[in-house]
C-alpha cells in the first residue's frame, strides 16, 4: 500500500505540472478504444513505423489488485528504442527493442507481485519486439516480420508496460483512399496477453491455449466521411475458423452535438482436431453514443447466441462492451450477454474523466454473473506525454466477492 501511495502522488504531481505548463491536446480514451465515436476501421498493417532516425517511449506504471484471498501489486519502468532506415521508395525497415525493469518497490514474495508487467518469472526483460521489412510497389505494400498489428481478434492492447506484438507476413492493396483489402499469416505473438510469457514470442495456437499453429487471415475495409465498415476472416488449422464484421456510422447534428452507432457480428467454429475444444459462437453487438457540450454518453450491448461462449482473442478483443477487466469472451455458460453504460466529460481538450458500468452474465446466472464499475482520468499533451489512471471494481454476484484494481501509467514519447 505504501508503494501505491508513492506512485499516486507522483502521477498527480506530474499531471498537474504538465497541464499547467503546456498546451492542450485532444484526450484519448482509456477504455473502449474501439467504439463508434472512433469510426476508423481496424487496420491490420501498422503504416506509421519510423523509417527516419530513432524514436520510442519511456513509461512508468503501477498496478494493484485486491482480491478475496490475496493482494498483488507491481511497479515498473519500460521503454522502446526503435530505429528505421529507408533504402529507397520500395524498401524500408524498422527495428524496435523493448525493455521492462522493476522499480525496486515491488513486494518481496512472488505471489504478491502482479504478473501483468513482467515475464513469466515476474522479472524484467529485454525483447526485440519489432524487426519488420516493408516492401512497397504502386498500391501494394507488404510488411514482413515482427511488427505492430491491429485486428479484431489479434491486437496490441497497449494497457501495460509493452503492447502485444506479432510476427506476421502481410500484404495489402489500396484500391483508393476509401477501400483496401489484404491477406497474410500471423505466426507468433508476444506481450502480456499472449497466454504464456510476455517476454517471448509464442505461436498463435499456443497463445490461445491450444497447440503450436499459425493464423491465416484476410480482410477488407472501407471508410468514407461518416461511415466505415470492415470484414475479417481468420483460419487457425486444427483450431478455429472466425468471421468478423463491423459497421459504424456517425453524424454531426450541430457544432456542439453529434451521435454515432455501431453494429458488429462475430462467428466462430472449431475445425479439424479442435485443439481449443468445441466452439460454436454467434455474437452480435450494438452501440450508440451521443456527444453534447463536452459530455459523451454511450450504451452498448453484446449477445452470444452460440452453444459455447464468445470467441477469445490475443488482446482486448473486438466487443463493444469490454471494460478494464471484464469482456464478453470471459463469460462461461450458454447464451452469454454483456451490457455497458458510460459517461465521459472532456474537462479540456487535454483532460477527460469518466465512468462506466457493465454487467456480464450467462443465461443461467448461477454459471456466471459479474458486474464492473470503472472510473478513469486521462491526460494527454501534444501526443508526447500521457497519463492514465483507472480504478475498477468487479463484483462476483455468485461468490459475493469483490475485486478492486488500480492501474496508473505515465508515458513519454520521443
Mean pLDDT of 267-279: 96
Contact 73, 408 (CB under 8 A): no
Beta carbons within 8 Å of 403's beta carbon, 6+ residues apart: 65, 66, 67, 68, 325, 392, 393, 394, 396
From 97-101, 336-340, 382-386, the region with the lowest mean pLDDT: 382-386
Q: How far is 406 from 192, CA to CA, in rounded Å?
A: 17
What does the alpha-carbon distance between residue 72 and residue 65 come to, in Å, rounded to a whole number?
A: 5
pLDDT (tens digit, 9 = 90+) per residue, 104-133?
999 999 999 999 999 999 999 999 999 999
For residue 207, the SS3 value is helix
Enter the DSSP assignment of 400. Answer: T
Sign of torsion over alpha carbons 371, 116, 39, 253:
positive
Please state, for a pLDDT cut of 70, what percent of the chain lies above it: 88
Chain centroid to Cα 72, Å, comes to 22
Q: Is the per-residue pLDDT at 316 higher than 60?
A: yes
Mean pLDDT of 343-363: 95
Cell numbers given for 141: 505494400
Query: In sequence order, what are the residues at sequence separation of 6 or more whose Cβ sits closer than 8 angstroms to the Cβ of residue 124?
Result: 76, 99, 100, 101, 102, 118
Cα separation, 146 vs 165, in Å, equals 7
The answer, yes or no, to whether residue 339 has pLDDT greater than 50, is yes
Report the CATH number that the domain containing residue 407 is assigned in CATH: 2.40.160.10
Instruction: Grade residue 138 by pLDDT with cuts at 50, 70 and 90.
Output: very high
Tell me, what's the pLDDT at 9?
Answer: 38
Q: Which three cell numbers, joined as nine digits, stand for 294?
A: 463536452
Q: d(Cα 29, Cα 15) in Å, to the nearest integer?
A: 16
Average pLDDT on 95-110 reads 96
CA 394 – CA 67 distance, rounded (Å): 10
Three-class DSSP category at 216? strand
Q: For the chain, what is the domain count?
A: 1
The Cα 366–Cα 343 span in angstroms is 30
Q: What is the DSSP letter of 273?
A: T
DSSP 314-378: BSS-S-TT--SS--GGG--SSS-EEEEEEEEEESSSSEEEEEEEEEEE-SSTTT-EEEEEEEEEE
Average pLDDT of the chain to the nearest whole number = 88
Strands 227-236 and 215-223: antiparallel
C-alpha cell at 349: 481538450
Distance of CA 136 to the CA centre of its chain: 28
Predicted confidence (pLDDT) per residue in 360-402, tens digit: 999 999 999 999 999 999 999 988 999 999 999 999 999 999 9
CA distances (Å), origin 136, targets 113, 156, 185, 268:
45, 24, 18, 33
User: What is the extent of the structural domain holding 55?
Assistant: 2-413
Q: 404 has which bridge partners?
A: 66, 393
pTM of the model as a whole:
0.88
Classify residue 383 by burial, with Cβ atoms within 10 Å: 0-12, 13-18, 19+.
exposed
The per-residue pLDDT for range 9-51, each reduced to its tens digit, is 333 333 333 222 222 333 333 344 444 445 566 666 656 667 7
Q: Using the CB atoms, write b or e for 185-200: b if 16+ within 10 Å.
A: ebbbbbbbbbbbbbbe
11, containing H or E segment:
helix 2-21
Average pLDDT over residues 215-244: 96
Grid coordinates belonging to 27: 484526450
**CA distances (Å), origin 374, targets 60, 64, 83, 301, 346:** 21, 15, 37, 17, 17
Amino acid at each position: 500500500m505504501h508503494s501505491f501511495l508513492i506512485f499516486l502522488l507522483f502521477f498527480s504531481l506530474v499531471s498537474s505540472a504538465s497541464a499547467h505548463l503546456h498546451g492542450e491536446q485532444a484526450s484519448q480514451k482509456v477504455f473502449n478504444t474501439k467504439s463508434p465515436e472512433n469510426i476508423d476501421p481496424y487496420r491490420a498493417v501498422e503504416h506509421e513505423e519510423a523509417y527516419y532516425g530513432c524514436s520510442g517511449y519511456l513509461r512508468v506504471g503501477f498496478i494493484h489488485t485486491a482480491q478475496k484471498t490475496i493482494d498483488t501489486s507491481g511497479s515498473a519502468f519500460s521503454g522502446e528504442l526503435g530505429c528505421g532506415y529507408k533504402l529507397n521508395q520500395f524498401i524500408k525497415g524498422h527495428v524496435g527493442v523493448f525493455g521492462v525493469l522493476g522499480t525496486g518497490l515491488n513486494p518481496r514474495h512472488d505471489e504478491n507481485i502482479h504478473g501483468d508487467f513482467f515475464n513469466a518469472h515476474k522479472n524484467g526483460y529485454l525483447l526485440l519486439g519489432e524487426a519488420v521489412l516493408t516492401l512497397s510497389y504502386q498500391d501494394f505494400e507488404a510488411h514482413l516480420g515482427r511488427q505492430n498489428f491491429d485486428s479484431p481478434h489479434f491486437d496490441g492492447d497497449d494497457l501495460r508496460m509493452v503492447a502485444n506484438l506479432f510476427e506476421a507476413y502481410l500484404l495489402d492493396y489500396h484500391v483508393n483512399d476509401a477501400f483496401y483489402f489484404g491477406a497474410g499469416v500471423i505466426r507468433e505473438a508476444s506481450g502480456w496477453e499472449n497466454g504464456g510469457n510476455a517476454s517471448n514470442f509464442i505461436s498463435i495456437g499456443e497463445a490461445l491455449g491450444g497447440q503450436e499453429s499459425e493464423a491465416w487471415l484476410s480482410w477488407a475495409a472501407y471508410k468514407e466521411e461518416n461511415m466505415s465498415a470492415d470484414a475479417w476472416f481468420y483460419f487457425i488449422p486444427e483450431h478455429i475458423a472466425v468471421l468478423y464484421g463491423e459497421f459504424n456510422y456517425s453524424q454531426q447534428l450541430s457544432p456542439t452535438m453529434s451521435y454515432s452507432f455501431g453494429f458488429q457480428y462475430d462467428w466462430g467454429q472449431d475445425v479439424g482436431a479442435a485443439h481449443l475444444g468445441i466452439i460454436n459462437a454467434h455474437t452480435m453487438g450494438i452501440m450508440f453514443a451521443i456527444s453534447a457540450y463536452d459530455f459523451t454518453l454511450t450504451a452498448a450491448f453484446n449477445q452470444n447466441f452460440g452453444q459455447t461462449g464468445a470467441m477469445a482473442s490475443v488482446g482486448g478483443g473486438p466487443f463493444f462492451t469490454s471494460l478494464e477487466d471484464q469482456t464478453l469472451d470471459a463469460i462461461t455458460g450458454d447464451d452469454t450477454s454483456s451490457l455497458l453504460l458510460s459517461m465521459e466529460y472532456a474537462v479540456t481538450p487535454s483532460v477527460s474523466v469518466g465512468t462506466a458500468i457493465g454487467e456480464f452474465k450467462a443465461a443461467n446466472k448461477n454459471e456466471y454473473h459479474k458486474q464492473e464499475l470503472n472510473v478513469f482520468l486521462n491526460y494527454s499533451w501534444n501526443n508526447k506525454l500521457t497519463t492514465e489512471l483507472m480504478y475498477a471494481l468487479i463484483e462476483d454476484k455468485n461468490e459475493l466477492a469483490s475485486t478492486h484494481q488500480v492501474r496508473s501509467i505515465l508515458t513519454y514519447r520521443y
